[in-house]
Amino acid sequence: MRVLVAELGEPETTRRFRLLLGRLGVGVDHVRGQSVPPDASPYDGIILGGSPHGVYEGEPWMKRLADWALAAADSGKPVLGVCFGHQLLGWALGATVDKNPKGRERGTCFVDLTDAGVADPLFQDLPRRFEVQQTHGDHLATPPTGAVRLAGSDHTPWQSFRCRNITGVQFHPEIDRELLTLLTKREGEDADVRDAPLQERVLANWARTLR
């Protein structure tokens, strides 16, 4: 199995995808997401990663990347969006993306699964409430058309969604405590950061959908 990661921000997150998925026997290639996306046909799945950009900036590469990801999904490939990738996929499916009026969500935070989330393969073997790593200021302000909400929090109601074989998570299942601490210090802000090992199961569960 092999997946392609569209790297849109911090290169270290790609290394984490490669490490965690590699433990599951999944190979990882990556491409800078602002470039013209390659042919997705050789890959078993697609991941769109995080970015310092906002979807509402309307850069041409964003629509190009979103259209490419939707085409990959239409061909039957599982597509996972993480943080910005979650927002971009949501936007491509009709959601509105905006700055969260509650401010940034940064650090190790709890998310709660909906009934649909409990039953969804993406969250198999996870408790209804568990901790995840977060660093984002934007959110899905309105829901994607035809999507099912899988997880939320008081700060960000749309923490995860599914629309057929497209899934999005607002949090970062690939980031560990060490990397999140580094990123928050680089941004000049403090955050409560702890280990959140359960979130790594999200990637493992997604990997099981590859074929």
| Residue 117 structural domain | 2-207
User: Catalytic pick from 7, 83, 136, 139?
Assistant: 83
Q: pTM value? A: 0.96
Identify whether the C-beta of residue 207 lies closer than 8 Å to the C-beta of residue 26: yes
Q: Which of 86, 139, 155, 172 is catalytic?
A: 172
In this prediction, residue 32 has a pLDDT band, given cuts at 50, 70 and 90, of: confident
Mean pLDDT is highest, among 77-81, 101-105, 184-188, for 77-81
- The total number of structural domains in the chain stands at 1
Tell me if residue 83 is catalytic.
yes
Which tokens in the block code for residue 30? 């990556």
Contacts 24+ apart (CB under 8 A), 124-131: 124/201, 124/205, 124/208, 125/201, 125/205, 126/198, 126/201, 126/202, 127/198, 130/196, 130/198, 130/199, 131/194, 131/196, 131/198, 131/199
What letter represents residue 193's amino acid?
Answer: V
Inform me whether the pLDDT recorded for 40 exceeds 80: yes
Q: Can you give the CATH number for the domain in which 26 is found?
A: 3.40.50.880
Residue 183 has a pLDDT of 86
Distance CA 49, CA 86 (A): 8
Per-residue pLDDT of 5-24, as tens digits, reads: 999 988 999 999 999 999 99
pLDDT tens readout for residues 146-183: 999 999 999 999 999 999 999 999 999 999 999 999 88
